[in-house]
Amino acid sequence: MEMAYTLEPELEPSPETLLLEAEHMGMVRSAVAALGNLRDRHLLWRYYVQEEPKSAICTALGLDPRRFDKVLHRARSRLREHMLRTGVVGGTSAALETLPIKADAE
């Protein structure tokens, strides 16, 4: 007896979900642009928006590749603090969740 397997279709996000995600990403981008630390702005923008590899960012910004993750963590922390302080997301960090968590194979 042969069994037929069917794959469940992937559910597409609703238009409302897509709109909320776009709004959150817009808030994050505005918050990144408003950061006082130029290196943080460049690091976050190049890594998350332009999706540049760590090695290219380190070269461009003069960072030691061994310190990249620590510098990125601190930049994200300052972004979160800025967003909470300015009330960008109503006192929550929901918009930060729109930043992709990248797993580099480098």
Sign of the torsion angle spanned by Cα atoms 32, 33, 34, 35: positive
Residue 30, SS3? helix
Domain locations along the chain: 23-92
> What pLDDT does 56 receive?
96
pTM, whole model, 2 decimals?
0.65
> What pLDDT does 93 receive?
47
Q: What is the DSSP string of 31-83?
A: HHHH-S-HHHHHHHIIIIIS---HHHHHHHHT--GGGHHHHHHHHHHHHHHHH
CATH architecture under which domain 23-92 falls: Orthogonal Bundle (1.10)
Cα gap 95→104, rounded to integer Å: 22
> What pLDDT does 92 receive?
43
Task: Give tens-digit pLDDT for 27-69.
Answer: 878 888 888 889 999 999 899 888 999 999 999 999 999 999 9
